[in-house]
Structure 1
Amino acid sequence: MDLVLLLKAAIMGLVEGLTEFLPISSTGHLILAGSLLDFADAKAKVFDIAIQTGAIVAVIIVYWQRLRDALTQVQRSEAARRLVANVAIGFLPAVALGLLFGKLIKAHLFNAPVVASTFILGGLVILWAERRPAAAAPRLVEADDMRAIDALKVGLVQCLAMIPGTSRSGATIIGGMLLGLSRKAATDFSFFLAIPTLVGAGAYSLYKERDALALTDLPVFTVGFIVSFLSAWACVRWLLRYISSHDFVPFAWYRIAFGAVVLVTWLGGWVQWAD
């Protein structure tokens, strides 16, 4: 057993778990970590699916009671039906636009200037969103109060995350806040929306890369999955506590700094920022 390879898998899992649900783009961090660790071969795409699955399972466990109540009470509870319907509505734009433009975006936008620009621009948008007077007086306090049109708008904003470096969580959380949701409501709905979105994207990618699967890779995938699950579980629980009394401004400055890192690593030829 290659202990060095297992250590690399653990580091990649940690990066995925800590960045998937924060507004800082897990994809950008995985590219950087994979390049620095020389962990970016043909099987990396399948490995990324495995560790992303670990992060999804973490969210499901954190929200298990609420998800279970919504699914079991959907026939007799208006609030449960509204939540399930809103998640479905928010999920559809990503499916449609992903199938239509996914290949085109990967072919033309996955490069260092775009990644750096979206990191920096995203940071500036967060700063603006948090400093608006409306941020202190949101229109919707809880995700359960969302209407179908609110879910559709957040779903459309989520599609911006198809541009590398944007961050799915960042797009949905900050987009939700700009649309009138409270910080908590936007974060909760972002996590709910992540479940079908990431499961669907993962299943589709796994099908495309099925020929790269091998039983000998199971230990590496298992280590990455477990570390991703544990770190994502801790990160999601921390973030839910954090937003109760803090804003997202620190993440904005982090994004701007990371955008500069992308440019430096690209100009220096240290990282190949391409898919």
Structure 2
Amino acid sequence: MTYPEALILAIIEGITEFLPISSTGHMVIASTFMGIGNNALTKNFVIVIQLGAILSVVVLYWRRFLASFRFYVKLVFAFLPAAVAGFFLEDYIDLLLANIWVVVASLILGGIILIFTDRWFRHAEGTKEQEVSWLQGFKIGCFQCIAMIPGVSRAAATIIGGMTVGLNRRTAAEFSFFLAVPTMLGASAKKMMDSYQTIQDHDLAILAFGSLVAFLVAMVAIRAFIGFLKQHGFKWFGYYRIVFGMAIALIALLMNL
């Protein structure tokens, strides 16, 4: 992987990590078209740089992370389902990451769901700050497990999960951001532990570069997303996913991928 390739993937990660359009799906597609999709470093890269993106949450919402011990208890309960599922399904997830058609199908199906999400969750239009219980957090964590399928979008799964348990859009989106911290930290640490023996000095530099770029881009994307979601809802993300998924399918057919 070259630095220009790392830059492209990191920008994609920073923009898409917190949007309901699947950051992993976009990076899988981009890396496939660049011809580096099956590269060992690329598979590490798309996981590890997510840590850089989610660190932007800690910076932007640092007061929440210093608020109380109960905040962390809720995050632990919300993180548990993905931790257990990830442990048992890791090999299967890695297999899916190499299949662009899984991403295409997830993008289109997820887009259809997002188009109707605002209609299904009219109660979630408020912006008042809400308290999330540990049980609500656990249920949101169960929704997060769906995002282990490439292209599903962790953000979409957890935000919809939050609205399903009674949260408004803003609270659901912010809790999705918070839940990304232990989830991506765990995923990145696990990936590094599994592959540290094969990582070279050049790889570490690429990973650090990508994480920094993803962090800076995500700082801007989070603020923009909250404002857009408040004003426009989810439908435009749904339209984007469908158009993007169909375009990728057409290109993949033409390129015999």
Fold similarity call, TM over 0.5 = yes
RMSD: 2.2
**Partner residue, 1:57:** 55
CA displacement at 1:89 relative to structure 2: 0.8
CA contact (8 A) 2:28 2:97 kept: no
Q: Distance in 2 between matches of 1:167 and 1:93?
A: 16
Specify which of 27, 32, 38 is matched with residue 30 of structure 1.
27
Q: Distance in 2 between matches of 1:223 and 1:116?
A: 28
CA displacement at 1:36 relative to structure 2: 2.5
User: Which moves more between the two structures, 97-106 or 161-170?
Assistant: 97-106
- Residue deviations 1:20-54 (CA, integer Å, cap 9, x gap): 11111111111121122333322112322442121
Q: Distance in 2 between matches of 1:220 and 1:139?
A: 42
Q: Distance in 1 between matches of 2:128 and 2:77?
A: 20
Q: Which runs of 4+ in 1 moved over 4 A?
A: 137-141
Structure-2 change in CA distance of 1:155 and 1:141 (3 Å): farther
CA displacement at 1:265 relative to structure 2: 3.0
Q: Distance in 1 between matches of 2:43 and 2:13?
A: 13
Structure 1 length as normaliser, TM-score? Answer: 0.85
Structure-2 change in CA distance of 1:110 and 1:139 (3 Å): farther
Larger radius of gyration: 1
Report the 3-state secondary structure (helix = DSSP H, G, I; strand = E; otherwise coil) of the residue aligned with 2:174: helix
Any gaps of 5 or more consecutive residues in structure 1?
A: 75-80
Specify which of 147, 172, 178 is matched with residue 186 of structure 1.
172
CA displacement at 1:241 relative to structure 2: 2.4
**Partner residue, 2:156:** 170
1:233 is aligned to 2:215: no
Q: Distance in 1 between matches of 2:231 and 2:205?
A: 40
Report the 3-state secondary structure (helix = DSSP H, G, I; strand = E; otherwise coil) of the residue aligned with 2:233: coil
> How many residues are paired up?
256
Query: Which structure 2 residues correspond to residues 1-275 of structure 1 after superposition, within 5 A?
Result: 5-40=2-37, 41-70=39-68, 74=69, 81=70, 83-107=71-95, 111-132=99-120, 134-136=121-123, 141-143=128-130, 145-269=131-255, 271=257
CA contact (8 A) 2:115 2:236 kept: no
CA displacement at 1:139 relative to structure 2: 9.2
Structure-2 change in CA distance of 1:93 and 1:122 (3 Å): same
CA contact (8 A) 1:54 1:229 kept: yes
Q: Distance in 2 between matches of 1:28 and 1:199?
A: 19
Structure 2 length as normaliser, TM-score? Answer: 0.90
- Residue deviations 1:109-137 (CA, integer Å, cap 9, x gap): 853443222111111111222113x4245
Report the 3-state secondary structure (helix = DSSP H, G, I; strand = E; otherwise coil) of the residue aligned with 2:151: coil
Any gaps of 5 or more consecutive residues in structure 2?
A: none
